[in-house]
Every structure is written in structure tokens, then in C-alpha cells.
Chain A
Amino acid sequence: MFWSDLVAKLPTEPSVWIAALGLFGVAFFLGYFWQDQSTRTRWQVKQEMLKNQQIIELEKVNQNLAAKNRELYAKELELTIANKHLQALEAAKSKFIAVTTHQLRTPLSAVKWTLDLAAKGQLGKVDEEQKSFLNKGLISVNRVIAIVNELLRVDSVETDQVVYCFQPVNFIKLFDEVLFEFEVQAKSKGVKLSVRRPETDLPPIDLDETKIKMVMENLFDNAIKYTPVGGLVEVVVSDKRLNRAEGAIEVTVRDSGIGIPSEEKNNIFQKFFRATNAIKAEPDGSGLGLFIAHDIVTRHNGSMWFEPAAGGGTIFTFTLPIHQKTL
């Protein structure tokens, strides 16, 4: 057969086999070595290229970072400058308000006192008609004074944001001090002012005196302002919440005024908001009073709300906790 013929022709000499095997081994080794060398070079080149690419990319990123850094630094500078500007502006504004209001108040006091003395006949006899003119002048000057006061209040609320000075205060004494100013105002407008205080003494209440004064001033002023001549303003200081878990006092101011339209009731404590009927009744308000009052009571951890009074008018209520936790 073909296969057996071939086998039969193979050399039988062992040396030939050994030589052949040796040759094969050398060829294999050389082949392997050459192959390995070339793959390794190719791999190295590839790695090199990859590295280069990475370096380029890194450099790009680096450049970007440096640019971003410069931008940040510039922004920081800008912000610092802007902040300085703002602080300077704020200080200038406060100073401007303090100085102008003082400069405005002095001549306003003079006009007010003169008109008041004249209207009361203390500068000589005046007839009814003259008196009514003088009183109208007095109302106008009081309106300007109220606007100046309001400007000052807004400023002190915004600049003293953190400065609340809580101290234990005799609330009824403070209340009476504020009331004293408004008894005159109510009387001269012809509005009856009825006051009820608790029968027993109140404990000292932790509060910021000047700020709570503003709250009461605002509520009393509104109540008298929006109550028609011959109407009634009822102010009640109550101790009914004193013995609750979070002991508090409650102040209620009830006017027999124009009321608050129900569709506008959600906006009442917003800055610059004025109810449409309030604008009609009193075109000059700033819409800041209740915003400030509400803000102050909230910062005392108290609440302020209002409800329509039976028979017309509005009842404003605020509560003040006896103790401030931060003390």
C-alpha cells in the first residue's frame, strides 16, 4: 500500500532522526523568538501612542482647569467687590434714612405742634370753620409723619435682621405706654377705644421691647384708621393661654372697620400688599405695616392671624410665648 511503502522508505538510522529533531527545534525557537519580538514592539508602540494621547488629554484638562481657576478667582474678586458695594450701599441707605427722617421730623414736629395749639385755641380764639381747616392740616401732617415713621421701621427691620434683644418685660406696662399714644389719636378721630386687661398680674414676658411696640402700634393704628367716626375699637390682653403647655399671652384688636375682602385674605401679610378696599379708604399706606408686624411676631415664636368680626370689621390676634428658648 502507499502508506506502508512510505514508512518502509523512511530512514532507519537514529542519527538522522536526531539531526532532524534538532533542526526542527532550532527553527521553532527562532520562529517563536522572532514572533514574540514583533508583538512586543507593536504592543510597546501602541502603549506609547496611548500614553502620548493621555498626556495630550491631561494637558488639555489641565489647561481647562487653569482657565476655570482663573475664572473662579475673577468671580471671587467680583463677588468680594460686589459684597463690599452692597454693604456700603446698605450702610449709606441706613444713614440716609436716619438723617433724612430726623431732618424731616423736626420741621414736621413744628408744623404739627403749631397746628395743634392753634386748633385747640391755645394761640388765640378760632371759630369753628378755622378750627376745621386747622384740623385738616393736622391730619395731613400726621400722615406725612406716619410715612416717615414707616420708612424708619422698614429700615430697622431689614438691617437688624439678627439683632433681636429678648428681655423679660412687664407687658402691661409696655402695652399701656403704646396705648397712651393712641388714646389721643382715637379721641381726635372720634373713635371709641375700649381696653380690657387681665385681672391678675402677668409674668414677665421675654420679648424685644421696641419690636413688639411696633407690632402694637401697627395694629392699633390700622384699627383706628379703618374704623369710621363713631365706631369702636376693642383691645383685649388675655391670659387664657398662660397655663397651656407653651404658656403665652394673647392680644386681640377688634375694629369695626371696612373688613378684609375674602379673596384677598391670603395676601394680607405680604410685603407691599394692600387690600383694594383699604387703598380706597386710605390711599397713602405703604403696605408694609402688617408684613413687619407678622415678621416680628413670628421671630418671637408667636403667631398672628385675623378673622372677620361679626357685624363687620376685622379681629387681629397675636400671641407671644412667655419664654424664648434661645435665652
Chain B
Amino acid sequence: MDKKKILIVEDDEFLRSLNAKKLESEGYAVSVSPDGTSAIELIPEELPDLVFLDLLLPGGKDGFDVLTAIKADEKTKNIPVVVFSNLGQAEDIKKAKDLGAIDFLIKANFTLDDVVTKIKEILK
């Protein structure tokens, strides 16, 4: 069976590499995007099975823009998107869910093992 593809959109280099390392060790094929613009380009090409999306991203496009773009494209709109951010005010959560995010995780409240549990739950 092919490896499931996961895209991590995260601007913090260290968090990105930790997350990628963990998911690779769990047997996933991991690709990464350091900003919103590259994520919007990459997603329709790669068609990942799941996207981990940070909200505050450098450059013009933030996570909400990426989410809107994924959901607007027929080809990508069914890809589950988990918002993985350190924002977490009620209005951020509501906005992300309204835009179609399947879940909203606050990075600081989870360990990477919890993240893996979550992925398995979503992709089963």
C-alpha cells in the first residue's frame, strides 16, 4: 500500500522539522510548506491525504487564505485540513471551522504522539 501523504504548512523551521520527523517515523510521506503562497501552489499538485495548517504565516497569504483556496477547488476540497496553530481564541476556531477545517488543535496543548493519534483517527 502507498504511504499516506501529509502536507505540513508551518513557518517555524524547528516545529516543522520536529513534526515532519515524527510523522515520517510513523510511516507517512511528508512534504512541507513554509508559507501560504507555496502551500496554495503545492496542494493541487501533490494532492495530499491530509493537511496540517498553521494560521499565522509569513508573506501575503495566511492559513485562512490557504483553507479558503483548498475548499474552493473541486480537486482539493475534500482533503481534510487540520488547523494546527497556537492561535486559539474562540473567533479563530469558529472562523476555521466555518471555512471547513475538520479540527483545530492548539500546538502547545498537544504532543506529537497525540497528533499521530488524531491523524490515524481521521484517515482510518
Contact = CB atoms under 8 A, between A and B. Distances in A.
| A is bound by B | yes
Interface of B: 12, 14-15, 18-19, 22, 25, 56, 86-90, 93-94, 106-114, 117
Interface of A: 98, 101-102, 105-106, 108-110, 112-114, 116-117, 120, 122, 145, 148-149, 152, 156, 160, 165, 180-181, 184, 210-211
Contacts of B18: 110, 113-114, 117
B85 to A, nearest CB: 8
Given A106-B15, A110-B12, A110-B15, A116 B93 contact: no
Contact of B88 (A120, A152, A180): A152
Nearest to A217: B109
Contacts of A180: 114, 117
Contact of A105 (B25, B90, B107): B107
A151 B86 CA distance: 14
Given A117-B18, A160-B90, A105 B113 contact: no
Q: Give the interface SS of chain A, mostly helix, strand, loop or mixed.
A: helix
Most chain A beta-carbon neighbours within 10 Å: one of B14, B19, B87, B109? B109
A105 B12 CA distance: 12
Contacts of A148: 108
B106 A117 contact: no
Contact of B22 (A98, A102, A117, A145): A117
Q: Give the interface SS of chain B, mostly helix, strand, loop or mixed.
A: helix
B90 A156 contact: yes
Given A106-B12, A114-B18, 7 more contacts: A102-B86, A105-B106, A108-B108, A110-B18, A112-B111, A117-B18, A181-B110
B107 A106 contact: yes
Nearest to A188: B111
Given A110-B15, A114-B18, A145 B109 contact: yes
A184 to B, nearest CB: 6
A145 B113 CA distance: 18
A117 B116 CA distance: 13
Contacts of A110: 12, 14-15, 18
A211 B90 CA distance: 9
B87 A102 contact: yes
B113 A112 contact: no
27 contacts: A102-B56, A102-B86, A105-B107, A106-B15, A106-B107, A108-B108, A109-B15, A109-B107, A109-B108, A110-B18, A113-B15, A113-B18, A113-B111, A120-B113, A122-B25, A145-B109, A148-B108, A149-B109, A156-B89, A160-B90, A180-B117, A181-B110, A184-B114, A210-B90, A210-B93, A210-B94, A211-B90
